[in-house]
Amino acid sequence: MIEDWENFLLPYEQAVAELKVKLRGMRPQFDQENQQTPIEFVTGRVKPAESIQEKLIRRHISESRIEQDLQDIAGIRIMTQFVDDIYQIVDILRKRTDMKILEERDYVINAKPSGYRSYHIVIEYPVQLVTGEKKILAEIQIRTMAMNFWATIEHSLNYKHSGVFPADVSARLKQAADTAYSIDQEMSAIRSEINEVQLTDETAK
Ligand code: 0O2
């Protein structure tokens, strides 16, 4: 039994704080290189003790397996403007040496039945504590702002419905997710066209 949740969650708090600084730090580096940054903004949270306990019950995980089996106690979200930016960030994360990728789940291509889209990466991340190094699991979710718009609202509605929507509501939410994805695709198409025009203008100079 975890007696002191505050103490248990401390390394996760530290990991989230460090990862936010590191990932936000990529933005000015892209600006410096005069490149369009794939990162719009980064958020992070540590799952509250009550949500952890609820998830342990829902997933039939024993408390003794919490550190190995619960991958999203430390959660980071990276929001992008375009779908392509998601994959650019994934490539960057794969090359980093300060974290080890354990699992990748592409819910961008393979949307969940709810309509949810996002790219999930589970990492092992070492935090330096006064007692020494501790490797913890963290989940990085990478999604466009349109995907985030949908997921944020669906999550808060879901909470009010205790996780079960009536079938017609689920269908409308799925439709709304598909609409959000169409907007993402249209924005990407517009960006490609603008880039092509710029390239043609530059080569004509
Ligand atoms: P919170 O409050 O965001 O932390 P699962 O059984 O879904 O928990 P699974 O299938 O292995 O686990 O998926 P994964 O990759 O662990 O993703 C779980 C997290 O993805 C969720 O965490 C949400 O953040 C997000 N997510 C997955 N499906 C949906 C969805 O349909 N709608 C929304 N809004 N978010 C989703 P938590 O713990 O559920 O919630």
Tell me, what's the ipTM? Answer: 0.91
pLDDT of residue 9: 97
Pocket test for ligand 1, best of 77, 79, 112, 165 (most atoms within 8 A of CB): 112
Alpha carbon of 41 to ligand 1 centroid (Å): 20
- In sequence order, the β-bridge partners of residue 128 are 133
The answer to whether the CB of 120 is under 6 A from ligand 1 is yes
Q: So what's the pLDDT on residue 199?
A: 80
Ligand 1 closest atom vs CA 47: 4
Tell me the average confidence (pLDDT) per consecutive run of 10 residues in the chain, 205 residues long: 93 98 96 93 97 94 95 98 98 98 98 97 98 98 98 90 86 98 98 89 79
Whole-prediction pTM: 0.94
Task: Indicate if 67 belongs to the active site.
Answer: no
Task: Specify the fold of 5-204.
Answer: Beta Polymerase; domain 2 (3.30.460)
Ligand 1 atom at minimal distance to the Cα of residue 122: 15
First to last CA, the chain: 70
